A = this chain, B = another copy of it.
Amino acid sequence: MDADEQPIDTEAKRDEDAYALSTKVVAAILDSVEAGDREKLIALMEPLHAADIADLLEQIDGEERRELIQLYGREFDGEILSELEESVREEVIGFLSPQVLAEAVRELDSDDVVDLVEFLDEPQQEAILDALEDVDRAAVELALSYPEGSAGRLMQSEVVMAPEHWNVGQAIDYMRGSDRLPDAFYHVILVDPRLHPIGNVTLGRLMAARRDVPLKELTEEMFRVIPATQDEEDVAYAFNQYHLISAPVVNADGRLVGQITIDDAMIVLDEEHEEDILRLAGVGEGSISDRVMETVKARLPWLAVNLVAANMAALVIAQFEAVIAQLVALAVLMPIIASMGGNAGTQSLTVAVRALATRDLTNANVGRVIRREVLVGLLNGVAFAVVMGLVAFLWFGSAGLSLVIGGALIVNMIVAGLAGTGVPVLLDKLKVDPALASGAFVTTVTDIVGFFTFLGFAALYLL
């Protein structure tokens, strides 16, 4: 840790391919599949992590996927299945022989099996459950009894618990004597006689303490018990906000039924983010490996909403046909007003949607935030009104047109700030996901207001 060994770079090294599959490896694997060379395939796949093999399977096409899996045969392991995204996973399960599938799932932890089977068709689900040992099957079925997207689905049933009156020595002796410890765990959960969790002791603290110290004196300050029915989004928020590593999950009676660890919470957080980004762009559940018809279906609804909105805007323009016929320059300039309003609205709404998701926008500051957005809209509006007024004057030589476009820009950008924040806040209060619906509303508002003020000002002052 000598300070003189420090590097002299001034920027962090960004190696694009630091962890990705290299193009070379992918090509070599596909070659071996084409040549039907099983030994070479196995040798090439051996050093790869299951997550990388899953990525590979997602990136190649359906035919190559089938051939690869059939050639790979019994080498296929359960973790690859867990790592695959849903649309590809179902297809891959169909390619596996029943024996390979059964062996693959038997290696998995209960939470991974739940994740695997929860969205499968009945027959595929049954086939997998049948392959499990009874105790594992019971754990999976308990988890499946909790609602979709709940903590109960996310938890693993394997926990290490200790009675609240134990001391460090007893806990260590118990753990060292037990032959059924989970593979990875970070806490010993203290429970009362009714199996209600009352505290967490980290393994590190256990290691550092004397044998006669009561466990109760070592519990972490930050302790949160998660109800099994709680939404996984709230679980991820709690882990992120309070820096939890693992937390006990309880049933309706408050009894310990499992635990959730930070790596599961990280996956949920990742998925929630992904969902928010895609919803903001009107791409329901899109993924790069969906097939054409799935993609068309996923994107069509949003485009249909947009078509209706665009036609409403067109109706506004139609009211001013006579004005446009007299001054065609209006038709040239009017998309600029709509475009600037739409972009400013998208900026405001994105900040608002994110702040709602991270709970940074609350009743305590909503008034202040809206005032700020309106003020930002006004200032940006004035700045661009000056620029665009000048452009319009130079282009069409009309001071009147300059004033009209400037005025419309200011109005529309204030409205963009107002709608961009107000619409998501309102949708959130109505329990509609603001990421999903705000975009269509806000751009409809800015389009309609933009065309109406621009053409309306023109009708009033230019003719």
A347 surroundings in chain B (CB, below 8 A): 281-283, 286, 299, 302-303
Q: What is the bound-complex CA distance between A278 and B3, given in angstroms?
A: 37
Contact A231 B14 (CB under 8 A): yes
Contact B339 A306 (CB under 8 A): yes
1/0 per residue A229-257: CB within 8 Å of B? 11111100111111101000001110101
Q: How many copies does the complex hold?
A: 2
Q: What is the bound-complex CA distance between A11 and B204, given in angstroms?
A: 37
1/0 per residue A261-282: CB within 8 Å of B? 0110111011001101110111
Q: Which of B208, B227, B287, B376 contacts A181 (CB 8 A)?
A: B208
| A60 close to chain B: CB less than 8 A | yes
| A317 close to chain B: CB less than 8 A | yes
Contact A379 B292 (CB under 8 A): yes
| A35 close to chain B: CB less than 8 A | no
A118 surroundings in chain B (CB, below 8 A): none
Q: What is the bound-complex CA distance between A361 and B360, given in angstroms?
A: 33
Binds B, one of A16-24, A38-46, A98-106: A16-24
Q: Can you list 26 A-B pairs with a CB-CB distance of less than 8 A?
A: A1-B257, A3-B138, A3-B145, A5-B251, A7-B145, A7-B228, A12-B147, A13-B147, A15-B231, A18-B230, A55-B360, A56-B364, A58-B360, A181-B207, A269-B270, A273-B277, A277-B350, A281-B346, A281-B350, A282-B343, A282-B346, A288-B355, A292-B379, A300-B380, A300-B383, A324-B328
| A141 close to chain B: CB less than 8 A | yes
CB distance from A423 to the nearest CB of B (A): 14
Contact A12 B150 (CB under 8 A): yes
In A197-241, the 8 Å CB interface with B consists of 202-205, 207-208, 222, 227-234, 237-241
1/0 per residue A46-71: CB within 8 Å of B? 00010110011011110000000000
A: contact size bracket = 35 or more
Q: What is the bound-complex CA distance between A371 and B67, given in angstroms?
A: 22
Contact B257 A240 (CB under 8 A): no
Contact A360 B288 (CB under 8 A): yes
| A307 close to chain B: CB less than 8 A | yes
Q: What is the bound-complex CA distance between A110 and B302, given in angstroms?
A: 48
Q: What is the bound-complex CA distance between A311 and B389, given in angstroms?
A: 12
CB distance from A447 to the nearest CB of B (A): 7
Across the interface, name the chain B residue whose C-beta is closest to A353: B277
1/0 per residue A138-171: CB within 8 Å of B? 1001100111111100000100000000000000
Q: What is the bound-complex CA distance between A372 and B299, given in angstroms?
A: 13
**Most chain B CB atoms below 10 A, which of A1, A172, A372:** A1
